[in-house]
Amino acid sequence: MRWLLIKDLQILRRSPLLVGVLIVYPIAIALMIGFALSSPPGKPKVALLNEVAPGQGRINFGSQQINVAGYASQLFQSIDPIKVHSREEAVAKVKDGQALAALIIPSDITEQVQSLVTTGVGSPTVELILNTKDPIERQFVDQAISARLSQVEQAVSKQVLRVAVTDLQQVLTGGTIQFLGQNFHLLGLRNARTIVQGTIASLPPGSPLRVALSQVSSFASLAIEGLGFASPVLGSIGTPLTVVQTQLAGQTTPTDSYAAAIAVIVSLMIVTVLLAAGMLALERSENTYSRLVRGLVSPGRLLSEKIALSAGCAASVSLLMAAFVSLFVHLDWSRCELWVLALACGGLAFGALGVAIGGISREVSTSSLLAFLLSLPIAFVALVPADAVSGAVKSVLDAVAFLFPFKAALQAANNAFSGTSPGIGWPLVHLAVLTVGFAGLARLGLRRFA
């Protein structure tokens, strides 16, 4: 087997273009996937027309003013605003593609909000103009702005409730409020009741005022009790739900290291599968297979050599890639022996898949095409999130992913890189089983190889 390995390495050394493509292409694909998964989406460019006059963004509510315009700045966390000065300009920006959408805040938005919070009448409205050319971009912008607008809505209503609760508290306990620039002293229900009760106590027993004041005192007590109950209820409406997160799968996987694992395994898969499939098919294209298996090398040894060659080359490239990626993303170097183990086992399984493809297709160009066409869907199937498709489709995808080495190799590499659960044991066993299975399939393919 040593001489065959040396021979194949000599052939590879004399095919620099092929080797270059085999290395550069998967790394480029892997880096793109890595960047896509690890980078948050950028802020969409949105033309923003704010027709509210400066200084007019405040509403009066109860004893306080709420700066509605201040909440607009929250929108800028989700969008990259392009300030425009008219609706026509906003529409033009969207039409010519400078902005993905336009958001128009009307000049009377403050009055609309004021009317809503004071009288309960009205529906404050902002206008969103979307470019409908690209449905994906449209959905992206729509979601980004809608999500942020609902946060603004929630923040405003929370602020309104906070003011309402404060005012109710002052109605209950009394204090000083500002209204139209003047200070007013509020007695408060509790103080009023104390005064009334003191007055009742000081009245002669037969005083006709006693009955009337007792009714006032009872009403005050009822109002105190009712408003005292209302305050915490109103306060809780602002944040009706509190989300408590519980992680069931042990340590969570950092997004960056998971993206790095995906990038490395995609690279490992493409190099190994293409190399194994191509090098086995080459033996037939060069007519050397028949010469080799007539007593010089058994078919099993030939397959082992191709698997070992492709796994060794690809695992080395992937290991270097992981080391390079670790300069930017935290990968646990104390587990580097597990890196080697995961990449080697993954490489062997992908190599076995590659020789199965080479054995069945029997021709270099066909096997290369088949290897390439199979590789990306295999990765795609394994990466589909659980909630992205229906349960039945997900079950089918899981079954397909189970039959190919990508998912197990990814789990093994992910564990090796960051020590996350599930452990590395089961993925390695899975990879070993797949290696044997695909090697067996390749052996069957060799029956009609000569």
Partner 1 sequence: MPSAASTGEPAASLGVHSLTKRFGTRTALNAVSFELLAGELVGIIGPNGAGKTTLLSILAGVLEPSTGELTRSPREIGWVPQQPALYSKLSVAENLRLFARLEQLSDPERAVTEMLAQTDLRDRADEEVGRLSGGNQQRVNIAIGLLCEPGVLLLDEPSASLDPRQRERLWEFIGALAGRGTTVVFSTHNVAEVERYADRVLVLVDGVLLFTGTPAELGRTVGGDRRDFEAAFVHFLHERGH
x/- binding map, residues 234-273, to partner 1, per CB under 8 A? ----------------------------------------
Spatial CA neighbour of 190 closest among 168, 207, 162 = 168
CB 122, CB 115: distance < 8 Å:
yes
**If binding is defined by CB under 8 A, does position 154 make contact with partner 1?**
no
**If binding is defined by CB under 8 A, does position 275 make contact with partner 1?**
no
Among 290, 298, 365, 395, binds partner 1 (CB under 8 A): 290
**Count of beta carbons in the 10 Å neighbourhood of residue 44:** 18
Among 119, 132, 246, 287, binds partner 1 (CB under 8 A): 287
How many Å apart are CA 377 and CA 389, to the nearest integer?
A: 16
**If binding is defined by CB under 8 A, does position 3 make contact with partner 1?**
yes
Cβ proximity to partner 1: between 58 and 443 the closer is 443
Report in angstroms how near the CB of residue 12 gets to partner 1 at its nearest.
9
Give whole-number Cα distances, 176 to 66, 107, 228, in Å. 18, 33, 19
Report in angstroms how near the CB of residue 13 gets to partner 1 at its nearest.
9
Of 8-37, which residues contact partner 1 (CB under 8 A)? 10-11, 14-15
How many Å apart are CA 128 and CA 149, to the nearest integer?
A: 11
How many Å apart are CA 138 and CA 131, to the nearest integer?
A: 6
Report in angstroms how near the CB of residue 272 gets to partner 1 at its nearest.
21
- 269 phi and psi, to 5 degrees? -65, -50
Cis status of the peptide bond prior to 422, with omega within 30 of 0? yes
| Residue span binding partner 1 (CB under 8 A) among the ranges 286-294, 317-325, 363-371, 392-400 | 286-294
Of 292-311, which residues contact partner 1 (CB under 8 A)? 292-297
Burial bucket for residue 117 (CB in 10 Å: 0-12, 13-18, 19+)? buried
Give whole-number Cα distances, 4 to 88, 203, 265, 297, 348, in Å. 72, 116, 27, 9, 18
**If binding is defined by CB under 8 A, does position 330 make contact with partner 1?**
no
Report in angstroms how near the CB of residue 313 gets to partner 1 at its nearest.
16
**If binding is defined by CB under 8 A, does position 286 make contact with partner 1?**
yes
Cβ proximity to partner 1: between 83 and 291 the closer is 291
CB 37, CB 259: distance < 8 Å:
yes
Amino acid at 425: G
Report in angstroms how near the CB of residue 440 gets to partner 1 at its nearest.
20
Report in angstroms how near the CB of residue 286 gets to partner 1 at its nearest.
6
Q: Could you tell me how many residues of this chain bind partner 1 (CB under 8 A)?
A: 19
- 298 phi and psi, to 5 degrees? -80, 155
Among 291, 330, 333, 377, binds partner 1 (CB under 8 A): 291
* Residues at the contact surface with partner 1, assessed by CB under 8 A: 3-4, 7, 10-11, 14-15, 286-288, 290-297, 450
